[in-house]
Each structure stands twice: as C-alpha cells, then as structure tokens.
Amino acid sequence: MNEISLHSLDYIIIGISLLIPVAISLKFSRKQNNTKKFFTASGSIPAWAIGMSILATLISSITFLAYPGEGFSSNWILLVQGLMVPVTLLFFIGFIVPLYRKVIKLSAYEYFERRFGFGARLYSSLGFILAHFSGVGTVFFLIALTFSKATGLSTTEMVWIMGSLIIFITLIGGIEAVIWMDVMQGFILIAGGLVTLLILLFTTKGGPAAIWEVAVENDKTGFGPYEFDVVHLTFLVMVLNGVFYAIQKYGTDQTIVQRYLTAKSDKEAIKASLMGVFMSVPLWAMFMFIGTALFAYYQLNGVALPPDVKPDGVFPYFIMTQMPAGVIGLVLAALLAAAISSLDSELNCLSAIVLEDYYLRFKPESTEKQRMFMSKLVIVLAGFASMLIALYYVRHGGEGALGIVFTLYAIFSGGIAGMFLLGIFSKRANKEGVYMGILASIMFTAYAIITSTPLEIGGENRLLVDLGAYNYTHHTLMIGVYSHIVLFVVGYLFSLCFSPAKDINNLTYAGWLQKKKEEGEKSLVRSGKP
C-alpha cells in the first residue's frame, strides 16, 4: 500500500480524539473507590448512554475494516448475522435483563453456577476470558498496523503507544468512564462513516445511481446464495449463525450483561439494550455499503488499486489516497474510536470476571482496597499480554503456535448459548446432564476443527487429523451452531437420567412467567377488582 504523510490538520483531529477519552477518564477517576462503582457505576447510567455504549462496543475496528472489505469483494451476506440480532432479541430480552439484574452480583457466569454448579461457571467464564483476551490482541494489531501506515511509525511502536494509552484510560476511569467514552466515540464513529459514504456517493462518476447499477451488474447486492446448503456460505448459514450469535452475545457475554447492571432500572436496561442493537444494524449496513461503493468507485473513476492490496486493505488505501486533509483525520479518528470503544470495555469486563469468578472465590474476606488493587492489576496484565499477542502477529502473522492456541480455545468454549437456553427454558435440566452436554460439545467441536482446519505444522499446512470421507465438511460457521445444539440436546437427554434440580424457579423462564402472573393477581386484589 502506498504511504503518504498526514496533514497537520489530520494530526490535530486525531490528537483531539485521543485527548477526549483521557479527559473523560481523569474526570471520573476520583469516584472509583470501590468495585461496585468501578464495574457497574452503582447503577447510575441513563439508558441512552448505555445504548450508545453497546453500539460502540459492537462496532469494533474489525467491523470498520472487515465490512467494507466484504462489501468490496462479495455481496452483503455477512450482514445477515447482524440483521438476525434484533429479531432474536425481541423474543427474550424482556425477561433476561430482569433475571440477570436480580440473580447476579457482577459476573454473567454466576447464573450458570446457580443453575448448574461451579463447573458450568468455570467453563463459561474461561471461554469468555480466552475469546476476548485473544480478540483484544487482534484489535491491537489491526489498529497499530493501520496507524503505522498513516504515521510512518513501525507497527511495533504503534502497538506499545496505543496499548499503553488504552490501558491507562481503562485503569483510572472504571466502567463509568468507559461508557461515557463510548458515547463520545460513538458519535465520532457515526460521523466518520457518514462522511466517507457521502464522499463516495458524490465523487464517483455518475453518482449514487451509477454506483447502484455497477453493484447490481457485478452481483454486489443481495444476501445470497439462498440454497438449502450448510456446506457453503449461504443465507441459511448466516441466519442460523446470527440467531446463536444474538443469544450468546446478549445472554452470556459479560461485555453486554455488565451493562445491564449499570442502568437505573430493569426498564432502562431493556431500553438501552434495544437501542444499542437497533442502532448497530444501520451502522453495520452502512459500512457494508461503503465496501460496495468502493468497488463501484474504482470501476467508474479509472483509479488503479495496487496489485497486492487485499479487500480488507481497500478502505484504508482509499482513506489515505483519495480523501482530503482533515477528512482523513476524521475517518482515522473514527477508526481509532471503534478500537478504543471495544478495547476499554473488554479490559474492564475481563477484570470483572477474574475478580468475581476467581479472586473472590479464594479470598472472600478480602478488603475493598485489596479488590480494587486486584481489579486494576488484572487490567494492566491483560492489557500487556494482549499487546504481546499483537506483537506476535507483527512478527509471525498469527500463524503457528498462536493458531493452535486459538483452535484449542474454540474447542473448549463451544456450546455456551446451548447451556444458556437449557438453563432458561428447561426446568428438567440439571448439572449432571449439562456436564455431559459440555463433554459432548467439546468432543464434537474438537472433531470438527481438527478434521477441517489446516494448521502450519513442520513448515506445511495440513490437518491435525485426516479421517478422509469422515472429515467435517460443513461450513466453518456451522461448527458454532452445532456445538450449541449438541450441548442442548445431550444435556437435556442425560438430565432425564438424574433427579431434577431444586429451587430453580427464579432462574427459568417458566418461573418468571409464574411470578408475573402472581404479581398481576396481587395487583388486582389491591385494586379491588375481581
């Protein structure tokens, strides 16, 4: 990719976008004197701010780069996952939010312990830690790579600069600062996307009509293929993936569940959740269409792309070579905002999980001062460990040993949405059955991954295990779908062999419905109505 120097105006805009989160963190730093304030803001955040925070957390820098790349190289099929989130959310958010706000203190995975025992909590929380820990390292790498091309600094230098900054602002401000930073950065993100889209629409020869014509002619629109096929990437695969993504994200993901606890009431928390996801869908669509418009731009304007540029690199290349001074700074600030919004949230939530699920289990009598020290220590350690992952990417491109580590994570963290559905909707399910379901899910996921995913071993790419005709052949995204289904089905069937769990009415959907009915009857009695 060709490199050009940023204009001084661009540096000013980027600098301001960096000063904003620092200033917000410093503003809230004095209030962070206990873990309740540090992790839940003592339930004092208004719904609209939480909604903007959820939006900013869901729109990461990976989305900022990957969606335009996909829109440029293919059609809009990957957007189907996001479209399924609000559809799925409407069915369960109304009782999941009150449930969590009532039965957990801080960790989303406390629910699994109360429902199925400590083993279920350990499995689900460890899965979250590994997934988000590796994800933070990936985002550090991507954002450092992009800004190294823009500033002329090396990717390694940018990893250390950006990583240190994000650790600092997360460390001193707590979740309250994280949310208000997300609000400001959410507006920057929206502005950057809109400005980019407008530039593309009105600098492409022929304007919006020509862009649409080129997109249709080259099959860049639509969500197909629509065949009943789970071997290839199809509409059906993305629908199924989107349903389970929504369940896992809003039902079991600490970055979302923790935000339920920051709201002033159940009603406010539900409103914030719906606001966050319904705002996210148009933004996902906008970035996908930016990729479509980029394809038309380079087709119609006769501007040549470097032969070695990959689809994910087209958008950064366009930013650096075709945008005017000032606008480059705004779009890069938006990309930076997307990274900070996801990274500060990840580090805060990782710290919350380590404190609540592990530290307090072994040191329940610890003082508030000790808990705060441990919480901040985890942020620092997790942040620097994630930076080391990013530096590994810089040197090795993420191949080799790290690929094996991430493969092992995928094997040992599958099926969590299935366990969540089993706990919520089946009163018959018990811990013995669920543990068998977890084992079955691990075994299935291990089989599917090691018989379908080539890894670099001994200098060549090959399968860990090759079973020939018995290798897993369905699309990779279906592994996650199947792992949830396997855990649910096996967990339920083995639960029938053991005694039902006791005292779980307040942990199930049926119990919630019964409580609502009783509250309605009491309300009628108080009003004097028959």
| Whether residues 80 and 148 fall in one domain | yes
Q: Which of 223-227, 386-390, 418-422 has the lowest mean pLDDT?
A: 386-390
pLDDT in tens, 109-124: 999 999 999 999 999 9
How far, CA to CA in Å, does 259 sit from each of 50, 54, 100, 522? 7, 8, 11, 31
Q: Which of 465, 391, 365, 448 lies closest to 154, judged by CA?
A: 391
Identify whether residues 434 and 385 lie together within a single domain: no
pLDDT in tens, 68-106: 988 999 999 989 988 999 999 888 898 899 999 998 999
Are 129 and 254 in the same domain? yes
Is residue 530, in this structure, part of any structural domain at all? Answer: no
DSSP 5: P
Q: 445 is in which domain, residue-wise?
A: 399-517
Same domain, 157 and 173: yes
d(CA 482, CA 126) in angstroms, rounded, equals: 20
Are both 417 and 375 inside the same structural domain? Answer: no
Per-residue pLDDT, averaged over 50-57, amounts to 89
Q: Which residues contact 282 (CB under 8 A, 6 or more apart)?
A: none
Instruction: Supply the pLDDT for residue 406.
Output: 46
Is the residue at 3 inside a domain?
Answer: no
Query: Are residues 88 and 246 in contact, defined by beta-carbon separation less than 8 angstroms?
Result: yes
In terms of domains, do 383 and 429 share one? no
More confident residue, 342 or 239: 239
Amino acid 350: pLDDT: 92
Q: What is the mean pLDDT of the chain?
A: 87
Q: Please report which helix (H) or strand (E) contains residue 529, including its range.
A: none
DSSP result, 247-306: HHHHHH-HHHHHHHTTBSSHHHHHHHHHHHHHHHHHHHHHHHHHHHHHHHHHHHS-PPPP
The pLDDT of residue 5 is 66
- DSSP sequence for 101-168: HHH-SS-TTHHHHHHH-HHHHHHHHHHHHHHHHHHHHHHHHHHHHHHHHHHS--HHHHHHHHHHHHHH
Specify burial of residue 379 (Cβ count, 10 A radius: 0-12, 13-18, 19+). Answer: buried
pLDDT on residue 527: 66
State which of 363, 398, 433 marks the end of a domain: 398
Examine residue 426 and state whether it is found in any structural domain, yes or no: yes
Residue 307 lies in a domain: yes
Alpha-carbon distance of 119 to 438, in angstroms, equals 10
Residue 2 has pLDDT above 50, yes or no: no
Q: Let me know whether 345 and 404 are in one domain.
A: no
Is-contact 170 344, C-beta < 8 A?
Answer: yes
75 lies in the same domain as 45: yes
129: Cα separation from own chain's centroid: 13
Of the residues 383, 398, 413, the one at which a domain ends: 398
Alpha-carbon gap, residue 404 to 454, rounded angstroms: 10
Domain CATH code at residue 228: 1.20.1730.10
Same domain, 406 and 388: no
* pLDDT range class, residue 401, cuts 50, 70, 90: very low
Note the pLDDT tens digit of each residue in 261-274. Answer: 999 999 999 999 99
Q: pLDDT at position 227, please?
A: 94
Distance from C-alpha of 412 to C-alpha of 438, rounded to nearest angstrom: 9
Q: How confident is the model at residue 516 (pLDDT cuts 50, 70, 90)?
A: confident
Asked, for residue 2, whether it belongs to a domain, the answer is no
Q: Is residue 528 part of a domain?
A: no
Please give the single-letter amino acid code of residue 242.
Answer: G
pLDDT in tens, 405-458: 445 545 556 899 999 999 999 999 999 999 999 999 999 998 998 898 887 666
* DSSP, residue by residue, 82-101: HHHHHHHHHHHHHHHHHHHH
The answer on 412 and 347 residing in a single domain is no
Same-domain status, 290 and 176: yes
The pLDDT value recorded for residue 373 is 94
Determine the 3-state secondary structure of 461 from DSSP: strand
pLDDT above 50 (res 336): yes
- Alpha-helical (H) ranges within 323-365 are 327-353, 360-362
The pLDDT score that the predictor gives to residue 61 is: 67
Residue 402 has pLDDT above 60, yes or no: no
Residue pLDDT, tens place only, 112-171: 999 999 999 999 998 888 877 777 887 888 788 778 877 778 889 888 988 898 999 899
Q: Is 36 exposed, middle or buried (0-12, 13-18, 19+ CB in 10 A)?
A: middle
Q: What is the pLDDT of residues 168-182, one digit of tens each?
A: 989 988 899 889 988
524 — pLDDT class (breaks 50, 70, 90): low
Domain limit, last residue, from 398, 415, 433? 398
pLDDT for 265-313, tens place per residue?
999 999 999 999 899 999 999 999 999 999 999 999 988 898 888 888 8
Domain check: are 387 and 429 in the same one? no
Whether the pTM exceeds 0.85: the reply is yes
Q: What angle do CA 180, 184, 168 make, to 5 degrees?
A: 60
